[in-house]
């Protein structure tokens, strides 16, 4: 009788182990079926009426339809937007990996080292929400598995600077996605 109970317990343990193994293998198959995409993001600008428009970019994030917010490997730094003209761009993300699927938004998180130069004087740029939640850009683009993409963002510096009544300046970014294309 004791042997039968022992065999029965072993059978139950073996069945549970098989069930857990099956569930884990199905879960891992679903993740690997999803696939990954790669993305590079470049920043450009058009000529403006300022001598410099310096924007500190700390992080680039994308919002994946099913996986939520994903931090991309960002080349952080302070970029003078007015130097990004005539086929000159700044690379913000160089081949970042993200799950294939629909990306609904992109977010640029700014630092506090943002300035505008007017008549050879630098003025700080107030960026109220860009430092906490980031500048949000709607995308609604589907990235295919095993594909490399390049995205070009046009930061319209001339349209993004707002002079306040007290002589200070704020940054109300106007950014458009010029294109997203597979490479």
Positive/negative CA dihedral, 7, 8, 13, 19: positive
Distance CA 14, CA 30 (A): 24
43 and 9: one domain?
A: no
Low-confidence ranges of the chain (pLDDT < 50): 5-6, 11, 13, 17-19, 22-32
Q: What is the domain extent for residue 21?
A: 1-34
81 and 18: one domain?
A: no
pLDDT tens, 113-137? 999 999 999 999 988 765 567 888 9
129 and 65: one domain?
A: yes
| Confidence (pLDDT) at 31 | 42
Say how many domains are in the chain: 2
Both structure tokens of 124: 């700080």
109 and 22: one domain?
A: no
| Confidence (pLDDT) at 48 | 83
Backbone φ and ψ for 132, nearest 5 degrees, come out as -90, -65
| Confidence (pLDDT) at 109 | 93
Residue 160 in contact with residue 171, Cβ under 8 Å?
yes
100 and 176: one domain?
A: yes
Residue 42 in contact with residue 152, Cβ under 8 Å?
yes
10 and 100: one domain?
A: no
């Amino acid at each position: 009788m004791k042997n039968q109970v022992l065999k029965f317990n072993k059978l139950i343990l073996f069945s549970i182990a098989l069930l857990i193994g099956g569930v884990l293998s199905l879960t891992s198959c679903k993740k690997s079926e999803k696939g990954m995409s790669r993305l590079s993001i470049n920043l450009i600008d058009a000529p403006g009426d300022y001598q410099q428009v310096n924007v500190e970019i700390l992080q680039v994030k994308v919002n994946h339809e099913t996986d939520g917010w994903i931090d991309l490997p960002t080349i952080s730094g302070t970029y003078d937007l007015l130097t990004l003209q005539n086929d000159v761009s700044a690379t913000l993300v160089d081949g970042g990996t993200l799950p294939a699927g629909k990306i609904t938004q992109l977010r640029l998180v700014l630092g506090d080292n943002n300035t505008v130069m007017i008549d050879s004087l630098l003025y700080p740029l107030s960026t109220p929400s860009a430092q906490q939640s980031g500048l949000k850009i709607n995308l609604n683009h589907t990235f295919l598995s095993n594909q490399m993409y390049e995205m070009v963002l046009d930061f319209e510096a001339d349209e993004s600077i707002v002079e306040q009544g007290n002589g200070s300046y704020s940054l109300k970014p106007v950014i458009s996605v010029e294109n997203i294309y597979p490479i």
